[in-house]
Structure 1
Amino acid sequence: MLKYQEIANQIEEYIRVSKLEQGEKLPSLEDLITNYEVSKNTVIKALSILEKNGVIYQVRGSGIFVRRQNRKGYINLINNKGFTDDLADFNLSANVLEVKTILPTQEVSDNLKCSLTQEVYYVKRIRFINKQALCIEESYFNKEYVPYLNKEIVEDSIFHYLKETLKLKVRFSDKYLRIGKLNQTEASYLNLNTHDPALHVDELFYLMSGEPFDFSKMTYNYNHSQFFIQSSGMDK
């Protein structure tokens, strides 16, 4: 992890641990440089990340301030780290339906930039929040970057495994959202009725190198899912 990313994480952790609220002022740029013993450029880059992610806002001549944080129980649609952190105060669990290696479909091949003869890991699971079905998740992992998965790993946080065990660094992701209706199989998994409304989210995750490694398809239960998006700037 680059130094400015480490500093960004440390500042965000400081905000969380200190339970700072919307509008509360952070230490000045000069104080942050001294406190973290890094260069001015490093702190500026860290603050830029935090501002882009909706954690802080800066007012020229006044300082650095905490931005309103996520409402409890809402999933950040901009976050590319999975939703475990957003729902940390809830009981999250997973029912793993499948973990296996398969040959990719044309759609998966196109998204992961792999050949049709190159095996990928396929994971299908139902995610639960407080024992209520939250979503159906189908994920495809390029085995070049994720060489091993099993049921025990995917019952927990896959992103934690990718980060802590495989040392993969996710740089960004692309999300594609569409509203549709549940088919019979989807409805049975989510304890809903066929043709009930659903939010479908396709997400493609990229490594620091810009290579795609994870293509996931989520179908959310409209009764138990809430989302939010923060804009990073607005010109009028």
Structure 2
Amino acid sequence: MYHEIAEDLIRAIEAGTFHDKLPTEQQLMKQYAVSRNTIRRAIDVVYQRGLLRRVQGSGYFINQTQLENKATLNLSFGVGKKLLAGGILTSKVVTFDRVKAGEIDLASRLRIDADLDLYRIFRLRYLNAQLYCYEQAYYMRDVIPFLSTDSINSSILDFVRDTYDIEISSSENFISQVSLEPDQAELLHAPVGTLKMMLEQVSYSKNNVPFNFSRTIYDYPGLNFYFHSAHLASN
């Protein structure tokens, strides 16, 4: 229940329903007819997404800086969630086939069997019709036995959630600068060796089993990477 409330609050924040602060816990309890504990868990989800600042004794304030930057990749949302404010992502599939984990050196990286069958999807993604990134993604077929053509042209993770009831519980993110190889340079219409930012991600389901690995090379002007972190107070 708290996840649905959290998503509803996120939509309201992005729509500008709350201009400066979130309503009080009491107001939200009344609005959603749930307990204080449920509201606190929902607020914590929104906070972890980087959309709120907590001020002791004053409540939760909207993080306007994160909302206003239209070219920000919010890693706090997790893979497959809202990527950029105010944008529509479309895809052009370059490769859609199957490979073994050992063929592409992912067996040791993900601690999986070298004979494990993977879906391989390479695609160019466009934000509001402008080239945004080149994504190379792999999905474990023992967890996700089927991907539809429609899903690889839109949101694969939405399909995985709706079809298999699998959502990402955690992910590892590695950001690095890479030099474009010939095949990458051709697809991105850039000279070989051009430096680009790359995000590698490993996605885990609720039982901590990896089911997806991706490398995404970004090619969007003025793109920023945002990640929210919360620090525990020390004694």
Q: TM-score range by the shorter chain?
A: 0.7 to 0.9
Question: Is residue 111–residue 204 contact of structure 1 (8 Å, CA) maintained in 2?
Answer: no
What SS class does the counterpart of residue 99 from structure 1 fall into? strand
Partner of 1:36: 32
The CA deviation at 1:233 is: 4.4
The CA deviation at 1:208 is: 1.5
Q: Find the partner of 2:189 among 188, 191, 208.
A: 191
Q: Deviations over 1:136-159 (max 9, x none)?
A: 211111112211124332011112
**Alignment gaps of 5+ in structure 2:** none
Partner of 1:55: 51
Question: Is residue 134–residue 190 contact of structure 1 (8 Å, CA) maintained in 2?
Answer: no
Are 1:25 and 2:25 counterparts? Answer: no
The CA deviation at 1:60 is: 2.5
The CA deviation at 1:18 is: 4.2
RMSD: 2.4
Partner of 1:134: 132
What is the count of residue pairs matched by the alignment? Answer: 231
The CA deviation at 1:121 is: 0.8
Give identity over the alignment, percent.
25
Cα distance change on mapping 1:226 and 1:190 into 2, 3 Å: farther
Between the aligned partners of 1:64 and 1:150, the Cα distance in structure 2 is 41
Cα distance change on mapping 1:131 and 1:30 into 2, 3 Å: closer
Partner of 2:228: 230
Q: What letter matches 1:208 in structure 2?
A: K
Between the aligned partners of 1:192 and 1:235, the Cα distance in structure 2 is 47
Partner of 2:217: 219
Between the aligned partners of 1:149 and 1:41, the Cα distance in structure 2 is 38
Between the aligned partners of 2:35 and 2:123, the Cα distance in structure 1 is 44
Partner of 1:101: 98
Partner of 1:159: 157
Cα distance change on mapping 1:182 and 1:13 into 2, 3 Å: same
What SS class does the counterpart of residue 126 from structure 2 fall into? strand
Q: What letter matches 1:20 in structure 2?
A: F
Question: Is residue 72–residue 85 contact of structure 2 (8 Å, CA) maintained in 1?
Answer: no
The CA deviation at 1:235 is: 7.5
After TM superposition, the score normalised by the length of structure 1 is 0.86
Q: What letter matches 1:201 in structure 2?
A: L
After TM superposition, the score normalised by the length of structure 2 is 0.87
Question: Is residue 133–residue 219 contact of structure 2 (8 Å, CA) maintained in 1?
Answer: yes
Between the aligned partners of 1:111 and 1:78, the Cα distance in structure 2 is 23
The CA deviation at 1:88 is: 5.9
**Alignment gaps of 5+ in structure 1:** none
